[in-house]
Structure 1
């Protein structure tokens, strides 16, 4: 089962890396238009699934479903913006600090405990962010801020999903998100709409396809084996994304950038291990 889970997580990481590359490649389109097509592409999968399995699209926790979607749309827009300003590997690494923000927010909003070692892990991860900016003049300040704020809103997504709990089917949660993202992206892109041509259609629709399969296989991996064994593997996305960036976009990473990314991933991986530990420290 573990071998299968590892395969699923690698497929998921590669799908998300391709999604990131597609976003980077579609510079001629506004972020809002990219969000629109990213959402429409995924709805081609979520709506048929719900109809086929006779699952109500309206859901039960409607207020929380809308709130989760709003947080998710803001996070997505800001992350896509960050990719335009930062090397993809840096943007993805910073976005993955979302679980840290989720844990801290849960500490204040839900009164959940945080282990001492988790605080150490958080410090390591944020030290990595500091290395990215403090020692690399090539890192855009605005891009860094977009990525960090995106991670904060992604953390709020985690908190909201936790409140929804099992009251709604996971596909209903995703479907709400994609519908609201399509509406927001569509409306905000009206004034800057660029008519896609030729292969651009494939790239735009591919956003939703790779986004959906990335999420699908990540879910299957987490369902197939223990979370603490496979969850750290999702950070392979950073490696895949960096390799694509180096090969296709000729992105460059300084020594300090690599140290920063390494610290972020180290802090996040150990946070998962510590969080899954039964013994509070």
Structure 2
């Protein structure tokens, strides 16, 4: 959902143009999310609401990074992002805090390192390319999440979840192909 919000914010804040066909691709991805939630009873509504709010703010962050452009070094932007995320996330998790034990510390450390590296490269991408080119690539997270969920956690996905995921990925691919043709 973040790329859809980013496209909407980019129209108003960056004066970017989003073509009608791109809206169809975004709608396909959104329909995939609706299918996942509407037809998969294993999805928690509260969790989906939190993910939706997260996507809203992520879309806004992408546009702000694009608006800043190359004016600030990516490390400065990532530093602000990480500090704000730690403050907000930390304060919201106080009531449910659980101290990591054993190997969980390694997982937590790895999450921080890989999150930092991912944030650096995402920030560089948003500084270099247009928002509507980079933001849809965030849908690739779906592929990695599914693969890691299956391989590491033994998750099983329903038929409708896979259809929804397929629609999200198809919308992404079509948007990227369309943007590439428009650039040429």
TM-score, normalization by structure 2: 0.79
Distance 1:221 1:119, change over 3 A: closer
Q: Which residue of 1 aligns with 2:150?
A: 246
Which residues of 2 match residues 48-63 of structure 1 at below 5 A?
Answer: none
Unmatched 5+ residue regions in structure 1? 1-96
Higher helix share: 2
Question: 2:159 aligns to what?
Answer: 255
**Deviation of residue 258 (structure 1)?**
0.5
Q: Structure 1: how far apart are the matches of 2:17 and 2:47? A: 32
* Cα distance in structure 1, aligned partners of 2:133 and 2:57: 26
In structure 1, the residue matched to 2:26 is 122
Confirm whether residue 196 of structure 1 aligns to residue 122 of structure 2.
no
Residue from 145, 165, 171 that aligns with 2:75: 171
Structure 2 gaps, min length 5 = none
Aligned to 1:147: 51
Structure 1 distance, partners of 2:95, 2:37, is 34
The structure number with the bigger radius of gyration is 1
Q: 1:153 to 1:167 in 2, by over 3 A?
A: same
2:86 alignment partner in structure 1:
182
Number of equivalent positions:
180
**Greater alpha carbon shift after TM alignment, 230-239 vs 194-203:** 230-239
Shift of 1:230: 9.8
**2:46 and 2:92 mapped to 1: Cα distance?**
21
Structure 2 contact 133–179 (Cα < 8 Å) conserved: no
Asked if structure 1 preserves the Cα contact closer than 8 Å seen for 2:5 and 2:56, the reply is: yes
1:187 Cα deviation from its structure 2 partner: 4.4
Q: Name the residue aligned to 1:268.
A: 172
Aligned equivalents of 2:134 and 2:63: distance in 1?
21
Aligned-residue offset at 1:276: 3.8
Deviation at 1:189, TM superposition (A): 4.4
TM-score by length of 1: 0.54
Q: Is the 8 A contact 1:231 1:272 kept in 2?
A: no
Partner residue in 2 for 1:107: 11
Query: 1:9 maps to what in 2?
Result: none
Q: Does 1:137 align with 2:41?
A: yes
For 2:52 and 2:68, how far apart are their aligned partners in 1? 25
Partner residue of 1:5?
A: none
1:30-83 deviation per Cα after TM superposition (whole angstroms, max 9, x unaligned): xxxxxxxxxxxxxxxxxxxxxxxxxxxxxxxxxxxxxxxxxxxxxxxxxxxxxx
Q: Give CA deviations for 1:163-199 in whole Å, capped at 9, x if unaligned.
A: 2111101111001111222333444545554333322
